[in-house]
Structure 1
Amino acid sequence: MATPAVQKGPGRGWPRHRPNLRFREPAPLLFLTAILLQLAPSSAFYLPGLAPVSFCQKGEETETCKSNIEVFVNRLDSVESVLPYEYDVFDFCQNETEKRPSENLGQVLFGERIESSPYKFTFNKPEACKPVCMKPYNPQDRQSADKLSFIKKGILLNYQHHWIIDNMPVTWCYDVEDGQKFCNPGFPIGCFVTQDGRPKDACVINSEFNKKNTYYVFNHVDIVITYHSGKNKEWEGARLVAAKLVPKSYNHADLSHLNCEGPPMEIPAEDKEKKINIVYTYSVTFNEDEKIKWASRWDYILESMPHTNIQWFSIMNSLVIVLFLSGMVAMIMLRTLHKDIARYNQIDSAEDAQEEFGWKLVHGDVFRPPRKGMLLSVFLGQGTQIFIMMFITLFLACLGFLSPANRGALMTCAVVLWVLLGTPAGYVSARMYKTFGGEKWKTNVLLTSFLCPGIVFIDFFITNLILWVEGSSAAIPFGTLVAILAMWFGISVPLTFVGAYFGFKKRPIDHPVRTNQIPRQIPEQSFFTKPLPGIVMGGILPFGCIFIQLFFILNSIWSHQMYYMFGFLFLVFIILLITCSEATILLCYFHLCAEDYHWWWRSFLTSGFTAVYFFVYAVHYFFSKLQISGAASTILYFGYTLIMVLIFFLFTGTIGFFACFWFVNKIYSVVKVD
């Protein structure tokens, strides 16, 4: 199973080919919006982050139409470092009256720090070589030298700007091989030419960037804003449908002597005594385009997304695995079990009754409580909580409520759902623990409330300390940490206790057969029916169904690519559920036929072992796809990866366990046992 390759051009992290997409994310969103508009025609309704804004020329403003266009800036990040930084950390032009839009919980957890910028335009008013500010640097001044050094470090690590106009990312689109166009929702601070004259990253776009051991700063941007006019439409003014820019470098003498056609702005790497003045400028033009609709304005951004053929290949590959497993399970249920059950139920003599074999022989031990039943029940409770959270989140994302336009909504939804789903976790954990014959209900409910969430919080807190030390924008503020703890202790924990109360109040789950007092001796097992080989084999097929989708998810997290294909993700999620269930049922049946009745933990670990393959793939991705450098970035990468692996382990393990639990109860409920 090969990972889809990312073709790269000259310089690290520069994709050279991204075929165009032929489908649109907002379609289900618009369909739902249209229904709501039909239900309430007297007032307009838009989903979060997708309300259109109208723009008019200067002097024609109204309450619903404005002329000023503001540029907001997000954090700067890099594919070579896990550490993102706020815009203000770099010594760029600052807004005199800084204005931050309200941030939701998801944006804070993801480290998004959106703030206003000094780049402000008037609708349909072109500007050419407009000055913004000048930043002087004197090597004799320690503070000034440190600021310039930090900019050089950002250029060397290829940090990217992320600008936002009308809630839409400003993209840098450029031609690549085969006549294709790549649109990157960000543009670099600058670029660097090495000591041997090799241009790195964005320096390949301009032949003038040829001086050895030199940094080039992109201090000028040519911005093109495309709008759809409101002529003969039901709205007033115009609506923006695209925002693109091209970063450039010009060596301006000062604010009064601007030259947007001169040589590039150079910063020598070795000459540390030279005074430098960096003047930031911009040009902006407006284009009218009636063909692009406001509802499909994100389409041009998605030109850079992976082609859907790869996604469909992944889906078809997974469906083949599911069909194979379904056929195997059907064969067992309809042929093998049917014959076994028919034979067992037609026994006429006591002599024939002694000739039992296979899974029937362990009927008196198959429901014997497992060792470490307390821990298993806690894992099952947490896994149930995670499963419900993931299902609802992905379902809402498919409807368009959690689209990329509504920043931070995905993480906010997931966290809020997890907090509110403490009751199912407590109920399942308590009910299973009581079924196992446990009596320490206080310990059970406390472990359900604090064990797995505590591990995640400790990991998260340690990584956050590293981010604090490094001064990264991804560091969670202390107040937010207190708020998360308050949600955990004030909402999730009480709800878990409520669920545990009802779980312990219920009677234990009735098993179809009685358990013998003396355990049956398990015969010598072959290699394939031993616990470890079976568990290792059990995680291969589920991982094979998701590894391509996993590649795109890791790209969106660590390579800062936009992920929005939640329809594919939800379909793969359903396939994963089926695959984990069927693979666990198959292996469980084989082990019971080998007279090994220790299936409780084995069913959980068989599908849960998929998380181990997840971790191995994340390690492979780190060394083969990323260019991350530095101990802090490496620790952060594996710290966050371990959190994802733990969540995935609990989720897949719980799915496999309950599938096997249903299967075992089903087959032993139809067998007549004296």
Structure 2
Amino acid sequence: MKRRIHFGFVTLLVYSLVSYFCLCSAFYLPGLAPVSFCEDGKGGEDCQTVIQLFVNRLDSVESVLPYEYDVFDFCKDAKESRPSENLGQVLFGERIESSPYKVSFKQDVKCEAVCTKNYKKGNPEDVTKLDFLKMGMQLNYQHHWIIDNMPVTWCYDVEDGQKYCNPGFPIGCLVTSDGRAKDACVINSEFNKKNTFYVFNHVDIKITYHSGASEGWRGARLVAATLEPKSIKHTDEKKTSCEGGTPMEVPGEFNEDLSIIYTYSVTFEENNSIKWASRWDYILVSMPHTNIQWFSIMNSLVIVLFLSGMVAMIMLRTLHKDIARYNQVDQADLIKLPSTKEKSSIPYEDAQEESGWKQVHGDVFRPPRKGMLLSVFLGQGTQIFIMTFITLFLACLGFLSPANRGALMTCAVVLWVLLGTPAGYVSARLYKTFGGEKWKTNVLLTALLCPGIVFADFFLMNLILWVEGSSAAIPFGTLVAILALWFGISVPLTFVGAYFGFKKPAIEQPVRTNQIPRQIPEQSFFTKPIPGIVMGGILPFGCIFIQLFFILNSIWSHQMYYMFGFLFLVFIILLITCSEATVLLCYFHLCAEDYHWWWRSFLTSGFTAVYLFVYAVHYFFSKLQIIGAASTILYFGYTMIMVLIFFLFTGTIGFFACFWFVNKIYSVVKVD
């Protein structure tokens, strides 16, 4: 029966992964309907003629602070409108609004002027606006434009003849006072004047569409949108020319009046070889991460096989040998040894000495110190584990892809709120097993402690964003909504789960606990608590650190993350690795007659979060170019939230694996 269940689980896992890759090639996002476009005069309800170009927030790899489009002195839409944003978009700081760039299907535009921005030398307001624009160019802030729910990309050649498509393009660039061209200034040899900014005030937009003439549907569907930013100095808004010309220079010293004319061009191209379902492929192909991901998976599998071999050796050889020897001694007692004196002469004592884990059977289930706190951590960890599993599973099916903006965060928050019941149940059941009686305190801590720490950290980070005027600052109304979800839904559900948890009897232990605690012998260096805990997190972290690099890139370097199939597979490997590493160390500690395994099992796998923090520090100093005190505080503030969540998640995995293991071995051998 167990083999059938195990085989069924593996079959389901393989089927899910295969289905994921099949869905990726057939349907990019289930439930997202394509939009058709027709020429002017041929439109209707099922075919639009105007292509909306939206602008999103601007961000930079050199700063954690994103800003809304309107904060910079760019051209603005006369009738500004904002599409509805979900909770995830608001939490991520996305601020989408309409743009002044007007596009109609199959109507080419050549060097159309949008607006002119004038800056007077003696006007303090103009000086402030221009200084902020210079700051954006100096820190390499990037535009993010959207057409038909697709990013407008800037594709350019990189090393080895490959092409990279960036879902953003810079405001401009800077040539420093020592003549060094920074960022995008390296693409044009004309950007060579010292201490000068070059603003990209012109864009050539190319929209590629797939015609439905031979497909059986009306109109056309957009399959790609690319642009090329340029810096062109225009002298007259009514007579603009975008062919050649000198770059639009913004001097480092504001010594004279300045005018910047923003223009754009649009061309359309038909390409029926690109299907609408695969229109994101040209962006994803330019990110050659697949080989590295497979290397990461193979590296993780080697670690899992090593740990599985060690655990199998313990279960099949050591424990089997102990159990067989114990049973042999029992039979010898009954058949050959009628007297008590003779009993003591058989190799039973040797068997006991060789099996230190059996000698602590009367203390192994002794309630731990700080059992209240441990049960609270395990309840929250269970909530996070279930939330993570369901979120990643839905992401593998394509529902939480990059095209569905903010869906990942929205799904995670909603699931966390709705999973208060299992958190309360697990916490209450374990607390009752530990012999606790303060059930009200247990429920309140389960519902408020860890979420309260996260919210306090998040609120402080939000205050910094608000002071800095960043678009990532969460509006007051959204904070109230989050509190309402927490106290109005999550907390009551936690109480419901705790009610059923306390109503159930305590978990039955396979052996009785002695009244007097056994003295723990002196431990070797490797079986002491701290060295064991530190060693326990190394292997689980080794399974995830490559995947962690891509996740941090997507968060802080604003790269697109789409490899949820790999992430789900690494998630499963992490579960196995944490479980096996904790079980292995737990067995060694029990053999050394140290029966304090409750907290140690939680901290052994939970210590992986410490390695996560160390890696985040290394990533900050080696990979990022972040400058400024506010950005640094924000980086480490958000990192601490990630570390706490990961600590609860991995610690819970290790605890329950060890809990199962200890119950299993002491129920098989009936020690008295």
TM-score by length of 1: 0.93
- Report the counterpart of residue 285 of structure 2 in structure 1: 303
Query: Which whole-Å CA distance do the structure 2 matches of 1:26 and 1:670 have between them?
Result: 43
Secondary structure, in 3 states, of the residue corresponding to 2:552? Answer: helix
Q: Is the 8 A contact 1:191 1:202 kept in 2?
A: yes
Deviations 1:237-283 (A, max 9, x none): 0000000000000111131231212100001002x221111100001
- Report the counterpart of residue 106 of structure 2 in structure 1: 124
Query: Which whole-Å CA distance do the structure 2 matches of 1:196 and 1:24 have between them?
Result: 56
1:345 offset after TM fit, Å? 2.2
- Report the counterpart of residue 206 of structure 2 in structure 1: 224
Out of 142, 145, 168, which is 2:150 matched to?
168
Tell me whether 1:398 sits opposite 2:381 in the alignment: no
Deviations 1:261-312 (A, max 9, x none): 2100001002x22111110000110000011111100001113323201000
User: How many residue pairs are counted as aligned between the two chains?
Assistant: 638
- Report the counterpart of residue 548 of structure 2 in structure 1: 550
* Letter paired with 2:245: G
Query: Which whole-Å CA distance do the structure 2 matches of 1:210 and 1:259 have between them?
Result: 22
Query: Which whole-Å CA distance do the structure 1 matches of 2:27 and 2:310 have between them?
Result: 40
- Report the counterpart of residue 246 of structure 2 in structure 1: 263
In terms of fraction of residues, the more helix-rich structure is 2
- Report the counterpart of residue 301 of structure 2 in structure 1: 319
- Report the counterpart of residue 540 of structure 1 in structure 2: 538
Tell me whether 1:577 sits opposite 2:560 in the alignment: no
* Letter paired with 2:409: M
Query: Which whole-Å CA distance do the structure 2 matches of 1:209 and 1:537 have between them?
Result: 53
Query: Which whole-Å CA distance do the structure 2 matches of 1:104 and 1:130 have between them?
Result: 34
Query: Which whole-Å CA distance do the structure 1 matches of 2:159 and 2:183 have between them?
Result: 16
1:27 offset after TM fit, Å? 4.3
1:262-281 counterparts in 2 under 5 A? 262-270=245-253, 272-281=254-263
1:143-292 counterparts in 2 under 5 A? 143-260=125-242, 261-270=244-253, 272-292=254-274
Q: Is the 8 A contact 1:222 1:247 kept in 2?
A: yes
1:26 offset after TM fit, Å? 8.0
Q: Is the 8 A contact 1:26 1:400 kept in 2?
A: no
- Report the counterpart of residue 23 of structure 2 in structure 1: 28
Unaligned runs of 5+ in 1: 1-22, 34-45
Out of 460, 469, 473, which is 1:462 matched to?
460
- Report the counterpart of residue 330 of structure 1 in structure 2: 312
Q: Is the 8 A contact 2:358 2:671 kept in 1?
A: no
Query: Which whole-Å CA distance do the structure 2 matches of 1:245 and 1:544 have between them?
Result: 40
* Letter paired with 2:670: K
- Report the counterpart of residue 598 of structure 2 in structure 1: 600
Q: Is the 8 A contact 2:20 2:397 kept in 1?
A: no
1:28 offset after TM fit, Å? 1.4
Query: Which whole-Å CA distance do the structure 2 matches of 1:523 and 1:265 have between them?
Result: 78
Decide which moves more: 296-305 or 145-154. Answer: 296-305
- Report the counterpart of residue 472 of structure 1 in structure 2: 470
Query: Which whole-Å CA distance do the structure 2 matches of 1:24 and 1:273 have between them?
Result: 63
Percent identity between the two aligned chains: 81
Unaligned runs of 5+ in 2: 1-17, 334-342
Deviations 1:356-398 (A, max 9, x none): 1211100000000000000000000000000000000000000
- Report the counterpart of residue 525 of structure 1 in structure 2: 523
Out of 449, 457, 463, which is 2:447 matched to?
449
1:101 offset after TM fit, Å? 0.5
Q: Is the 8 A contact 2:25 2:278 kept in 1?
A: no
1:299-448 counterparts in 2 under 5 A? 299-347=281-329, 348-349=332-333, 350-351=343-344, 352=346, 353-355=348-350, 356-357=352-353, 358-448=356-446
- Report the counterpart of residue 7 of structure 2 in structure 1: none
RMSD: 1.4
Q: CA 1:660 to 1:25, structure 2 compared with 1: closer, same or farther past 3 Å?
A: closer
Query: Which whole-Å CA distance do the structure 1 matches of 2:156 and 2:554 have between them?
Result: 21
Q: Is the 8 A contact 1:140 1:273 kept in 2?
A: no
Tell me whether 1:56 sits opposite 2:54 in the alignment: no
Q: Is the 8 A contact 2:59 2:143 kept in 1?
A: yes
